[in-house]
Copies of this chain bind each other. A is one copy, B any other.
């Protein structure tokens, strides 16, 4: 039966946390809730027009979903590789879950803002009233983004710290180092966005978000994120 549940991942990383632990289960309940909170605030449509509004939510909902699944995938990969359950892992993981739950509603707000420009009929009641709010928004989200990737980085760093006790071999140490560089670089992009948003004119602060594109360039240079 070890055909597919092989104890060694495709990349050669031996899986130390193959079985589902309580931390995995607890985290998945929280991730599942985060996804549902994005939908759950929508009312059940009662008329065709309300239904159409729900369907127009497709784009922001799918972007949030994609972002959360990327975070989940990093989380999943870490716990499968290390299978750690020490106190440091529990505390960092709790901080990660807290950040995800705390940002899920504001995140939806942001993506609705970004995508509302495609649906011109909604623009009359614009949710932003002052220019400085663009700057504050951008900084808030950039810091949330940074926090999530910082915690993912810290999880891996906590595993790396115990590399001798975990008997990581040469290949595994290389992979963990790569993962840490990736996560750290992604977190730094968030910091860069926040700094640039503070420096440029407030009404253009959201343009700093284009710096997130750096992540894509980074990934292209260092090889694909998932396929390594």
A residues sitting closer than 8 Å to B (CB atoms) are 1, 3-5, 7, 10, 16-22, 24-26, 28-33, 35-37, 39-48, 51, 54-55, 58, 61-62, 65, 69, 72-73, 76, 79-80, 82-87, 90, 94, 97-98, 101-102, 104-106, 108-109, 127-130, 133, 136-137, 140, 165-167, 226-227
B5 touches A58 (CB 8 A): no
A35 touches B101 (CB 8 A): yes
Q: Please report the C-alpha to C-alpha distance between residue A136 and residue B217 in the assembled complex, in whole angstroms.
A: 40
Contacting A105 at CB < 8 Å: which of B22, B44, B83, B127?
A: B44
On chain B, the residues within 8 Å of A82 by CB distance are 4
User: A136 to chain B: closest CB distance in Å?
Assistant: 8
On chain B, the residues within 8 Å of A94 by CB distance are 65, 69
On chain B, the residues within 8 Å of A28 by CB distance are 22, 25-26, 29
User: A205 to chain B: closest CB distance in Å?
Assistant: 13
State the oligomeric state as a number of copies: 4
Q: Please report the C-alpha to C-alpha distance between residue A134 and residue B108 in the assembled complex, in whole angstroms.
A: 30
User: A51 to chain B: closest CB distance in Å?
Assistant: 6
Known: A29-B29, A106-B54, A127-B47. A101 touches B39 (CB 8 A): yes
Q: Please report the C-alpha to C-alpha distance between residue A30 and residue B51 in the assembled complex, in whole angstroms.
A: 22
Add 12 more A-B contacts to A39-B101, A39-B102, A55-B140 (CB < 8 A). Answer: A1-B83, A3-B167, A20-B22, A33-B35, A36-B37, A37-B39, A41-B44, A43-B105, A44-B105, A44-B109, A48-B129, A51-B137
